Structure 1
Amino acid sequence: MSPQITAIGLLTLSNVFMTFAWYGHLKFKAAPLATVVLISWGIAFFEYCLQVPANRIGHSVFSTAELKTIQEVITLTVFAVFSVTYLGEALRWNHLLGFGLIACGAFFVFQK
């Protein structure tokens, strides 16, 4: 498998873990804060186990600015799906427009 595909795949998987670590506890507001912090750290461990290799592999074909941009676009995409499907929150037109503008900015990062 190409390093580009491997890096993007690992970044996507790491972002799923990251999103659950950062926002998954919002469905469990009655849980003690110390508990959700510890659980989030546990989830984040797996995120790092994917993120670090993704950046190592990806840096062989992408610049760090490109890697970070890919990461952010994946993060917004994973977050949008998570927000709607897991948290049941609607994405409004202004969210979509803002995400779209960020994606437009990402386009320019890859211009030579």
Structure 2
Amino acid sequence: MGFNVPTLAPIGLLIASNVFMTFAWYWHLKFHSAALWVIVLISWGIAFFEYWLAIPANRIGYQVYSAAELKTIQEVISLSAFALFAVFYLGEKLTWNHGVGFAFIGLGAFFIFKGPLK
């Protein structure tokens, strides 16, 4: 069984892009004294690299996934990356409510990939 680029590469690229995007959007929450315009410029710089990963991920992935499937993959990865970031970088705690909400998102992803209902 070989490496299937159109199937697996988008997932790896989306994981990497979501790490960048999570940092771009939330890293500054620990730096309250920094000027907003500085935070925005730094975040744009970080997001630049996210685009260099996300765009090829979607372009390659569209060979084997529908647009809805690609978006679903991205959202599940995004939520996972954010949860890890919130716990390990921001020091927040995940609750049962978070778990239930994540489970519903996972259920939605299941229906995207296994649909349509008959």
TM-score band w.r.t. shorter chain:
over 0.9
Extract unaligned runs of 5+ from structure 1: none
Aligned structure 1 segments of 4 or more residues deviating by more than 2 angstroms: none
Query: Counterpart in 2 of 1:63?
Result: 66
Residue 83, structure 1, aligned to residue 78, structure 2:
no
| Map 1:1-112 → 2, pairs under 5 A | 1-2=3-4, 3-112=6-115
Q: TM-score, normalised to structure 2's length?
A: 0.93
- Cα RMSD of the aligned pairs, angstroms, is 0.7
Instruction: Report deviation, 1:96.
Output: 1.2
Structure 2 letter corresponding to 1:39: I
Larger Rg: 2
- Aligned residue pairs total 112
Amino acid at match of 2:80: T
Q: Distance in 2 between matches of 1:14 and 1:73?
A: 13
Q: d(CA) in 2 for partners of 1:4 and 1:86?
A: 31
Aligned-partner Cα distance in 1 for 2:79–2:103:
10
Query: Structure 1-normalised TM-score?
Result: 0.97
- Where structure 2 has 5 or more consecutive residues not aligned to the other structure, the ranges are none
Which SS does the other structure have where 2:91 is aligned? coil
Percent identity, aligned pairs only?
65
